[in-house]
Amino acid sequence: MPILVLFANSLVNLLYVSADVAQLGVMTSDYYVGLGLYSVTFGVYVAGQFGSQGHLNPAVTIGFAAFGFFPWSQVMPYLLGQFLGAFVGAALVILHYYPHFKADEGNSVGIFATGPAINNPAFNFLSETIATFVFIFTLLNLGNFTQGLKPLIVGFLIMVVGQALGSTTGFALNPARDFSPRLAYAILPVPNKGGANWAYAWVPVLGPIAGGLLASSLQALLK
């Protein structure tokens, strides 16, 4: 989880600070490639090597457990690792880019957490639910997605979901990936920072969880 957040937030950071101005022209498409193929793929590979089932996402863990695809006894350790890992990843981004944050005024929480293109909480929630449903329903049919080239397939899946469905809300898909970096931004000493937009924070937490539960319920029904 720290690897996912470190890579993902660093990629988004290029849109906000003068770390690499040359990349700004291609980030609208390369962001999805970086988040999927680099962040998620490498995160799943590393997690799998340590004996994890590669759940970097509470929506996956909760959805799987709710319908018998994952033991409830392991849910809390996984959730703790996911949220703490995401916080550590965000803290590393703050440390790595600290001089750039200090040089750029008006740093946005959008470096660390998602936000809607159009602020409509009901439809924003629906967007996150739909995107996460597609993502997790596909995961459920991949089997053990830590093995072989399957982490790469998961990365491509994130990329496709982001390109197709991500423009409305920034496609959190993952409560830990959104909440913990938002919290890190709010409480750690980021220079020139703005507000953390807590009024919106429930959407990228509850929307993905709803999508995960719906996907797992459909899988259980079909099986």
Q: Compute the residue count for the chain.
A: 223
Residue 190 exposure: Cα atoms within 13 Å on the Cβ side: 30
Check pLDDT > 50 for residue 14.
Answer: no
Top pLDDT among 38 and 222 is at 222
φ/ψ (deg, to 5) at 118: -125, 125
pLDDT at 40: 66
pLDDT single digits (tens) 15-57: 455 444 333 333 344 444 445 455 666 666 565 565 566 678 9
CA dihedral 172, 174, 178, 181 (to 10 degrees): -140
pLDDT at 31: 47
- Buried b / exposed e along 63-89 (16+ C-beta atoms within 10 A): bbbbbebbeeeebeebbebbbebbbbb
Answer for the pair 157, 135: CB distance below 8 angstroms, yes or no: yes
Q: How far apart are CA 26 and CA 31, in angstroms?
A: 8
Judged by average pLDDT, the poorest of 34-38, 67-71, 115-119, 190-194 is 34-38
Tokens of 74: 């392991």
